[in-house]
Structure 1
Amino acid sequence: MVPPPGNWITAILLAVLVMPAMSIDKNPKSFSYHRFNGTHYSVFTAVGDASINGGALQITPDSVNDNFSLLNKSGRVMFSTPFKLWEKTASSNHTSSDTVASFNSTFLINIFRKENWTGGEGLAFVIAPDLSIPSGSDGGWLGLTNATTDGDPSNQIVAIELDTVKQEFDPDDNHIGLDINSVRSNKTVSLSDLSIEISPASPKNYSVWVQYNGTSKVMDVYMAEEGKAKPTGPVLSEEINLKQYVKQHSYMGFAASTSREVELNCVLAWDLTVENLEEEKKKDRKWVKIGVPVLVLLLVMCGVGLGYYWHKRREAEKPINNNILGSTLKSLPGTPREFRFRDLKKATNNFDEKLKLGQGGFGVVFKGVLPKENLEVAVKKFSREKMKGIDDFLAELSIINRLRHKHLVRLLGWCHKNGTLLLVYEYMPNGSLDNHLFGGEEKTLSWDRRYKILSGVASALHYLHNEYDEKVVHRDLKASNIMLDSNYNARLGDFGLARALENEKTSYAELEGFPGTFGYIAPESLHTGKATRESDVFGFGAVVLEVVCGQRPWTKIQGFHFLVDWVWSLYREGRILEAVDERLGKDYVVEEAEKLLLLGLACSHPIAGERPRAQEIVQITSGSMSAPDVPPFKPAFVWASMPPTGDTNTTADSTPITTSYYGSGWTPQVVSRESYVAHTSNSLV
């Protein structure tokens, strides 16, 4: 989009005014990883006994089944590209005048030990000169040095250690330290006084912030439990001029070790921002010599820009070009209708808030009326940042464009104008299922309608999983994404997260972790980051219980933290019908209610392979198959050490996962790992 004329002039004048003062480009290099898998070996280098699996950087081996494999290990996982951390100022021979890069390294760790483990040795964030690891760096050397090299200035390493074993020079077995070329820390702080235990008996994740100010030459480290805000004060703060200790181009990453005492050293997420240092610019007097001609040139460019702006403004009222999304859109089979932006803007009264039907992570949906066609529509306006928005837009368009089923919301067309992405759907006059379940007593759904809605969703799910020419996983099946037409028929919608499974694969994974909504996410998806047909079935099970019980999946009821746990306890005690929505009174069919509650529990089974398939669900809701068998006690979630069999086979490129309580990434915008794992691993509800 071309900016208004005033912004052009302001931007250009500002650029000219600040040019003489700019000697260094400080645009930072930023990286964010909230989940890790085998594909990240192209980004990170794992050396020693380290690996990337189970959704995490495993700095030492990740297994709770084989203690021998954990003994006396050391490893590093480093970002494969070095960073320029300092540069010498040409005009001065004084170290204090040198430019040193600032950086911020924020990471989520889990240092896990079983109850019978003492725990050892520790994990460190490290700046190193290369991608190697010293031999014999296990035990108290933390994967940083060894008995020969410790203390040698040629190591050129600086590290922040989280140490779980007390050496003769350590304050205790639970401290943080600043290490320079040695595991004998230059400064240590005991964490026990701060109520932080690095490796507690009850597993716990910690967020760690390592911040370095290249101007003040101060290293600050903050630490807090996952989900808590960054503390106001650092747990460790020390002045250090990195230029004196590290190579100009150094690597960043993590090191860890074990000895005869063992622990699992996992990094679950990592955000890294490093100041981008460039070579020193030419002196200011040279800018003075070229400033005037540059200003003239920029003013000419300003004139050209203004002309282009007014040209684009005149073009705004012309019909949209079908090539606006390029060859990607043109290649879609049966490309849907392209709407004019001005028509949709008028239909929604300029996207009036009063006409808003709903809002989610991908955009806002407005009601619109096209008077010439006497047609009511729902217009979805994508709201995410531009490039990601286009990806979401094309993903939804490419999938739903060819879907044809009476229980799916039908796509009518699309629009892309000046960076604004719009999808146009048929309007559902009765809104969402969620609104009817929780919109007040006047909207209480009858039993017949509830049963019909669930049958319709089951049919739509079977179509996506088995009947469409591609296997599609919806990935966000929940009550607010189930729409109701004028006859209260269910229409599954919002395919912003849906993905097709290609090349006979049975799962879909994203590098950024598993998206979705709290209460509807299958436990295995949190550990593997993969969406499967089984994870869709888990979401359907949550919807079934929600519809029958009239309670949201995350409802705390009678001491239980989740609806499914409460229903399972009633089933075990032979009182499952007490879970039926009390607003229905006795106006429901007992046999149908019991069947649906058992179906909901079966679909919520913690083990993916034990859940019914979509085809069986349709047969159960239609009455051609009896209710599923459900164990009286909710089974424990097991993170299998080998890929499951049958319909739950992972993709060919998936990495085998070892049994580990914590060893995978998480999706912070959805649910904390503690609460979800506590829910899914409790076998006696």
Structure 2
Amino acid sequence: MAARFLVHLLLLAAASAVAVTSAAASASLATNATAGPLAPAAPGGGDGNVTGFSFSRFVGANRGANVTVLGDASISQGALQITPDTINDAATFLTHKSGRVLYATPFKLWHREGRHGDEANATAGDGKRVASFSTVFSINIFRPNGTEPAEGFAFVIAPSADEPPTGSSGGYLGLTNAATDGNATNQIVAVELDTEKQPYDPDDNHVGLNVNSVVSVANASLKPLGIEISPAKPTNYTVWVDYDGGARRIAVYMAVAGKAKPGRAVLAAPLDLAATVAEWSYLGFSASTGSKYQLNCVLAWNMTLEKLPCDDGDGDARRRTVGLAVGVPVGVTVLAAAAVLAYVCVAKRRKAAHGGGDDSSAITGTMIRSLAGGPREFEYREIRKATNNFDEKMKLGQGGYGVVYRGVVVGDHTCPGGAGSAVEVAVKKFSRANTQGQNDFLAELSIINRLRHKHLVRLVGWSHDNGELLLVYEFMPNGSLDQHLFGPAPGRQLLGWELRYSIVKGVASALHYLHDEYDQRVVHRDLKASNILLDAAFGARLGDFGLARAIETDKTSYIEEAGGGVHGTVGYIAPECFHTEKATRESDVYAFGAVVLEVVCGRRPRCDVEGFHFLVDWVWRLHRDGRALEAVDARLEGAFDREQAERLILLGLACSHPTPGERPRTPAIQQVLLGSVPPPAVPPFKPSFVWPATDGGLDTVSSTAGTTASQVSLTSASTWSGNFMKGSLRHAFEQEVSDSLP
């Protein structure tokens, strides 16, 4: 009985989707975050996902959990101390030291396309596809008591999480030693910030690119830029490292913390990671001291990296990429573990007693039937018959959570035609008939079960037999908004202006209901054109609640409790989500803004237009130049209401504001669409996205020495979410980096 009670607790927690608050000791968040599809910039580019993590500070609990601390490194004072930070005798405790701190999980940095017989899609003649990435970190390299600085610090890519080599202190930066320096078997790449001049260095204050050796293949002095890596007065710096896997080039930017990312790289050079590093590599930092010393500290670190496909059968590799969710309270973890154990025991007993059977289906069915006002339950055979045994010809679409089929079922008294009528439905068949699939199924059902709004897709019923998870929705005969904007079927006419404006109003009404009118606040988390369906009268119906989550009315955001990560689709994801990994009403409004501009312009949010890689940036430029109406879909041939078009463009830009607090709320959005209030004021230049977005847009962090307090601001370009992508990076290199080359 106790075991069964624990099982019910676990399933109820999944159905309620209650956000778990992090323990205070685990304030740093580090997860492998899937951010959604990447748009390929070249043949073979972008397979659909990104991954990454973010630390706003570091605590002792990070050690062993999500960072590996090696050699003489440590974690203290909210920072990674890559070499010792101590007031003890310097000659004993500070000199001739080397350390490394690496993210605990390796990442796949290149992939041999030919393994799947797809050489044509390789990005280079070697048949290898290389991941693009963007990392930004805040550092403080401090020389206590005014001593001379030495030796240096580096961002490193390493093949293993091994200790620094013996003899890697001094000029070897914790990377190599006298015996191994220059060996191709090292498989190491590092971006060094060197503060000690060796015979092979330009000076004692430069940035260099190291490949298997501390002798840089490219370097640049920082003195002409007025940057001193280890100044007498403690100074925090922000360093950006962008790598373009398509072009196979690297660029390094550096600025005093709190300043925006410079437009020009301090160092840019070709770099082929596929020919240099291990396919699976670790990312982190390395540093050393010699007879002279300095304190090498990392205060914050953010990484976003293109996620490459795993090879078939590479189970170990897949397991290594499992995200680490930090900060889940111990009590909840123990409860979940106990519930899973109890579930296994109960299932085994029932299977032994009854000769098999799917006990999880019975438990899940019981949970669904207990929902207040639960929807109609279908027998599996009814759904199989309705979809002609899930015939491919009945397939309407496919997403990350499952496949959707068209079907016809016999209606009951709740259907418009009454009992016995033929009702067209859309059947969503979950693709993961396992524990996670059940959680997704229950989470979606628990939210949409009680939602009632004319602009939401209505749930007709459900089925959970034979391990199959099925949700049955009313059928939308006119498909999705995405299909009408970008892939009109034969015989379908282009959406006219009146219909477009009406669709936007319908979506705004549905979003207002979810955010402010329903008894729980619901964040959709995946609002996009393909999830906006059109009924027989072309009325908008917001659907696909597979990512939606309910939050308490006194809360402001929902945090994914198991696995974490950025959810949604690139182009619709608000920039702050890459840092907070929280879903909010403001992030939904950002996605709504992307949809508004998409409807007006007839272009996808992620597109290439006149040198821009995101629609919002192009429209903002036209707005700045007083030419906003030129963004309206040219296929309309001028058949649109100019006042309404201007209203939608300004509303779309306002909703796309990089700062969450500057975006309008849904009540104001509805008033604008009704014409009862003027559209929001939009600045001529798109504001830069600044994170952390605390008061003043800055986060205060104590310096290593403890004598000053500096502010760290990780800033991003307006197209942050695409800067690590191949297309955007390539454009950035062409427009910005070439000037830094000799």
TM-score relative to the length of structure 1: 0.61
Which one is further off, 396-405 or 440-449?
440-449
Displacement of 1:662: 7.6
Choose which of 247, 250, 256 in structure 1 pairs with 2:286. 256
- In structure 2, the CA distance between the partners of 1:518 and 1:144, relative to structure 1 (3 Å rule), is closer
- Cα distance per residue 1:172-230 (max 9 Å; x no partner): 9746577xxxxxx8xx785559xxxxx9x99434599xxxxxxxxxxxxxx9869xxx9
Alignment partner, residue 257 of structure 2: none
Alignment partner, residue 461 of structure 1: 511
Query: Does the 8 Å contact 2:613/2:728 carry over to 1?
Result: no
Alignment partner, residue 350 of structure 1: 389
Matched positions, count: 509
Alignment partner, residue 713 of structure 2: 659
- In structure 2, the CA distance between the partners of 1:236 and 1:439, relative to structure 1 (3 Å rule), is closer
What is the distance in 2 between the residues matched to 1:386 and 1:37? 29
Q: Unaligned regions of 5+ residues in structure 1, if any?
A: 1-30, 62-70, 82-105, 152-157, 179-184, 194-198, 209-222, 238-251, 277-303, 646-655
Query: Does the 8 Å contact 2:152/2:173 carry over to 1?
Result: no
Choose which of 448, 467, 470 in structure 2 pairs with 1:400. 448
Kindly report which structure 2 residues correspond to 1:555-574, keeping only aligned pairs within 5 A, or say none.
555-574=607-626
Alignment partner, residue 162 of structure 1: 190
What is the distance in 2 between the residues matched to 1:657 and 1:367? 56
Alignment partner, residue 154 of structure 2: 122
- In structure 2, the CA distance between the partners of 1:465 and 1:275, relative to structure 1 (3 Å rule), is closer
- In structure 2, the CA distance between the partners of 1:435 and 1:129, relative to structure 1 (3 Å rule), is closer
What is the distance in 1 between the residues matched to 2:692 and 2:32? 28
- In structure 2, the CA distance between the partners of 1:59 and 1:525, relative to structure 1 (3 Å rule), is farther
The structure with the largest alpha-carbon Rg is: 1
What is the distance in 2 between the residues matched to 1:559 and 1:232? 27
Displacement of 1:555: 2.7
- In structure 2, the CA distance between the partners of 1:341 and 1:161, relative to structure 1 (3 Å rule), is same
Displacement of 1:667: 8.9
Alignment partner, residue 601 of structure 1: 653
Displacement of 1:556: 2.1
Q: Unaligned regions of 5+ residues in structure 2, if any?
A: 1-30, 34-50, 84-93, 106-130, 143-148, 180-185, 220-228, 230-237, 252-270, 289-293, 308-314, 320-347, 411-419, 698-709, 737-742
Displacement of 1:365: 0.9
Q: What amino acid is aligned across from residue 450 of structure 1 in structure 2? A: R
- Cα distance per residue 1:253-281 (max 9 Å; x no partner): 955348489888847379995999xxxxx
SS at match of 2:483: helix
Which one is further off, 476-485 or 558-567?
558-567
Q: What amino acid is aligned across from residue 389 of structure 2 in structure 1? A: N
Query: Does the 8 Å contact 2:211/2:276 carry over to 1?
Result: no
SS at match of 1:323: helix
Matched, 1:44 2:66: yes
Alignment partner, residue 183 of structure 2: none
- In structure 2, the CA distance between the partners of 1:448 and 1:260, relative to structure 1 (3 Å rule), is same
Alignment partner, residue 419 of structure 1: 467
What is the distance in 2 between the residues matched to 1:609 and 1:328? 38
What is the distance in 1 between the residues matched to 2:470 and 2:711? 40
- Cα distance per residue 1:370-398 (max 9 Å; x no partner): 14541110001112463332222122111
What is the distance in 2 between the residues matched to 1:548 and 1:207? 32
Kindly report which structure 2 residues correspond to 1:280-679, keeping only aligned pairs within 5 A, or say none.
323-325=362-364, 328-371=367-410, 373-384=421-432, 386-440=434-488, 442-502=492-552, 504-510=554-560, 511-640=563-692, 642=694, 658-661=712-715
Which one is further off, 320-329 or 667-676?
667-676
- Cα distance per residue 1:17-74 (max 9 Å; x no partner): xxxxxxxxxxxxxx96744457984823687665899xxx96769xxxxxxxxx9999
What is the distance in 2 between the residues matched to 1:343 and 1:428? 20
Q: Which has the higher contact order (CA 8 A, sep 6+)?
A: 2
- In structure 2, the CA distance between the partners of 1:52 and 1:231, relative to structure 1 (3 Å rule), is farther
Displacement of 1:536: 0.7
SS at match of 1:204: strand
Q: What amino acid is aligned across from residue 256 of structure 1 in structure 2? A: S
Query: Does the 8 Å contact 1:474/1:495 carry over to 2?
Result: yes
What is the distance in 2 between the residues matched to 1:142 and 1:437? 55
Kindly report which structure 2 residues correspond to 1:152-191, keeping only aligned pairs within 5 A, or say none.
162=190, 164=192, 165=194, 168=198, 174=208
Displacement of 1:454: 0.7
SS at match of 1:543: helix
Displacement of 1:439: 2.9
What is the distance in 2 between the residues matched to 1:512 and 1:674? 26
What is the distance in 2 between the residues matched to 1:561 and 1:109? 17
Query: Does the 8 Å contact 2:135/2:304 carry over to 1?
Result: no
- In structure 2, the CA distance between the partners of 1:32 and 1:544, relative to structure 1 (3 Å rule), is closer
What is the distance in 1 between the residues matched to 2:686 and 2:134? 30
Matched, 1:268 2:303: yes
What is the distance in 2 between the residues matched to 1:571 and 1:345? 52
- Cα distance per residue 1:588-622 (max 9 Å; x no partner): 22221211111111111111111111111011112
Choose which of 234, 238, 241 in structure 2 pairs with 1:204. 241
Query: Does the 8 Å contact 1:472/1:501 carry over to 2?
Result: yes
Query: Does the 8 Å contact 1:324/1:416 carry over to 2?
Result: no
Query: Does the 8 Å contact 2:598/2:604 carry over to 1?
Result: yes
- In structure 2, the CA distance between the partners of 1:580 and 1:255, relative to structure 1 (3 Å rule), is closer
Q: CA RMSD in A?
A: 5.4
Query: Does the 8 Å contact 1:554/1:563 carry over to 2?
Result: yes
What is the distance in 1 between the residues matched to 2:671 and 2:494? 27
- In structure 2, the CA distance between the partners of 1:644 and 1:529, relative to structure 1 (3 Å rule), is farther
What is the distance in 1 between the residues matched to 2:424 and 2:715? 51
SS at match of 2:613: coil
What is the distance in 2 between the residues matched to 1:331 and 1:676? 54
What is the distance in 2 between the residues matched to 1:616 and 1:434? 26
Which one is further off, 500-509 or 338-347?
500-509
SS at match of 2:643: helix
Q: What amino acid is aligned across from residue 391 of structure 2 in structure 1? A: D
What is the distance in 2 between the residues matched to 1:52 and 1:416? 52
Kindly report which structure 2 residues correspond to 1:96-245, keeping only aligned pairs within 5 A, or say none.
110=135, 120-124=152-156, 125=158, 162=190, 164=192, 165=194, 168=198, 174=208, 192=218, 203-205=240-242, 234-235=275-276
Query: Does the 8 Å contact 1:432/1:482 carry over to 2?
Result: yes
